[in-house]
Structure 1
């Protein structure tokens, strides 16, 4: 009996649900800081653990595949990519390197191997791969591709061979190949087109690698693409913006620094999919809402679940590794919100909040 109890205790201690800890990081563009939290896996509560001062306009964040490093792009001059190691029981950040870059990047991620940082530049119209060595982003550029106007995001497929870049300025989603050496080249003709003046912005891959979903900023639509064996995309179908009619939002427009327009317009921001691929969520800034969709397991088609009010002018979202919690930051909100994802129907319920800096922007989670 004693042996059985000992074996049971060993199994329980080995269970990830007991020892795994989830850290949450939110970049604050205006305050030039990163807010740090610990996420309660049972309740969804966020406990602040500190603030990391950056001293510049810190915006997109990315996590290394091994969960040991956090990367952030500073979009105020001098442009740079900062590498922090994630340490301690509270997920403290220790700056290890700062690499100068020649463009302002609104989106960064890593390839699946963790050897390259992939970055898209809205202002410089490029996508680039930067070499990562010993977990730290370097100034070595391994690949660079001229995208056309306003590259807004870059995602890598699960095979680590294809890159997809949303180009807001010419209504295209680029289909590119990522070489083992970090080189970037075209797949086929290099792109698929979306609706005119829709403004492709953020994309996500389905976990099974069959479909790419893209959110358009000005149209607020979600478009589904089928990924071919060679990485080329085939456009399947689109879904209209879920809240435009309810909030009487006109079609969106590109928003330069001097943008001024009193007309309420569609201004979609972020797109996330749960780890099991069952639910997809998008944020819309003018209405300050998040809309959720159920994803058909076979066809990948979307069915609207509902829309919910969230933090004011929601810019970034993240879903934790368990798929139970959606975290939302608002550019005009003093808090970051935590929402429970109903496992049966995908509906959202707000369960908590925690103070953040000003201009809250990007949200990432690290579970380890």
Structure 2
């Protein structure tokens, strides 16, 4: 299959805190010459198809479950979230509305049913829940809960009935029960965590990701330069240790400042970034035991704070917060090796990357 055909429906979204905008990037391949349909595959190039200026410091982003809305948080006071419609053919964004948030939020996600917007504040030690209306617009703040120090990530569990929160400064994971009523409620989350999990002392749990099997949770440690795997218990039962791995090879002695992690949709690979070492790492996941093994570590441009993985697991998009460039990286899942494909500008101080496959082929 021609590479461009495989990639033609991808759309990459990069928020740039320094320039207050979102860059939308799409693949572009040169047309095939007449009669050469069987010629070797050609790599698609990438181009910016839209630069949406919103102002402020646009940072964390999250898609609705249907991928037809993108929620982008502005971390400049007054703190707000923009609801953006996603064109199903071209991937372009259009602003539908802007809503107030309960604080300066570093992370945003939605409940699996799309009824609630979930946010966390690192500086204010809190999490909040906003309603999401039927048209996808963010509604009023329904609930604000205090947390231990430096709440960072807030993510819905695969069961749709719980929400997990990492508290970097307290070395804790919290799990809240999420209301399962058919209508929105005024207090969607349990007012207290149904469980608290103590992480490694001084590790700084930052972001988390669930394995596709729904039973495992992986956590990147900002200060430890490592990943921990946990096996989730039934209901509110505490998780049990599953695996632990360093994300930097022994020859890199830099003090860790780890950032992002992503799990491939087939559950066989976990990717991580470290800002101070300027690296992207690929770790193989044993899908039977959950054990992790570092296979490759690729040097990137400075401060790779955020990256995203294409749904097919073959391409990564890594934003350098320092240089403002997006690196497109090929991944070979058989060998576990990464290779730089191309680079392009993506604004000033890019801090978040998301990628989706559009439901329709590009319009002519």
Under TM normalisation by the shorter chain, which class is it?
Answer: 0.7 to 0.9
Structure 1 segments unaligned to the other structure (5+ residues): 1-11, 250-264
Task: Please name the residue that 1:23 is paired with.
Answer: 11
Task: Please name the residue that 1:256 is paired with.
Answer: none
Change (3 A) 1:195 1:40: farther
Q: State the 1:347 CA deviation.
A: 1.6
Question: TM-score, normalised on structure 2?
Answer: 0.87
Change (3 A) 1:204 1:44: farther
Task: Please name the residue that 1:358 is paired with.
Answer: 348
Q: Does 2:302 match 1:312?
A: yes
Aligned partner of 1:204 among 196, 205, 209: 209
Q: In structure 2, what is the Cα distance between the partners aligned to 1:248 and 1:122?
A: 28
Q: Does 2:244 match 1:239?
A: yes
Q: State the 1:342 CA deviation.
A: 0.8
Q: State the 1:145 CA deviation.
A: 2.5
Q: State the 1:112 CA deviation.
A: 1.1
Q: Does 2:151 match 1:161?
A: no
Structure 2 segments unaligned to the other structure (5+ residues): 30-41, 359-364
Given that 1:145 and 1:185 are in contact with CA atoms closer than 8 Å, whether structure 2 keeps it comes out as no
Question: TM-score, normalised on structure 1?
Answer: 0.86
Given that 1:70 and 1:85 are in contact with CA atoms closer than 8 Å, whether structure 2 keeps it comes out as yes
1:53-202 alignment, distance < 5 Å: 53-87=53-87, 89-180=89-180, 181=184, 183-185=188-190, 190-202=195-207
Aligned partner of 2:327 among 323, 337, 340: 337
Given that 1:64 and 1:135 are in contact with CA atoms closer than 8 Å, whether structure 2 keeps it comes out as no
Change (3 A) 1:242 1:322: closer
Q: State the 1:40 CA deviation.
A: 5.7
Given that 2:242 and 2:290 are in contact with CA atoms closer than 8 Å, whether structure 1 keeps it comes out as no
Q: State the 1:120 CA deviation.
A: 1.1
Q: In structure 2, what is the Cα distance between the partners aligned to 1:310 and 1:21?
A: 26
Query: Secondary structure of the residue that 1:169 maps to in structure 2?
Result: helix
Q: In structure 2, what is the Cα distance between the partners aligned to 1:224 and 1:44?
A: 35
Task: Please name the residue that 1:216 is paired with.
Answer: 221
Q: Structure 1 stretch 300-309 or stretch 338-347: which is displaced more?
A: 338-347
Q: In structure 2, what is the Cα distance between the partners aligned to 1:295 and 1:19?
A: 25
Q: In structure 2, what is the Cα distance between the partners aligned to 1:77 and 1:306?
A: 40
Given that 1:225 and 1:233 are in contact with CA atoms closer than 8 Å, whether structure 2 keeps it comes out as no
Task: Please name the residue that 1:259 is paired with.
Answer: none
Change (3 A) 1:202 1:135: farther
What does the per-residue CA deviation read over 1:195-240, in whole Å, with 9 as the maximum and x for residues that have no partner? 1111100000001111000001111111111111204442314534
Q: State the 1:337 CA deviation.
A: 0.7
Q: In structure 2, what is the Cα distance between the partners aligned to 1:109 and 1:289?
A: 25
Given that 1:101 and 1:139 are in contact with CA atoms closer than 8 Å, whether structure 2 keeps it comes out as no
Aligned partner of 1:349 among 339, 346, 354: 339
What does the per-residue CA deviation read over 1:265-316, in whole Å, with 9 as the maximum and x for residues that have no partner? 3100000111111000110001100111000011111011021011211010
Change (3 A) 1:248 1:18: closer
Given that 1:174 and 1:190 are in contact with CA atoms closer than 8 Å, whether structure 2 keeps it comes out as yes
Query: Secondary structure of the residue that 1:314 maps to in structure 2?
Result: coil
Task: Please name the residue that 2:361 is paired with.
Answer: none
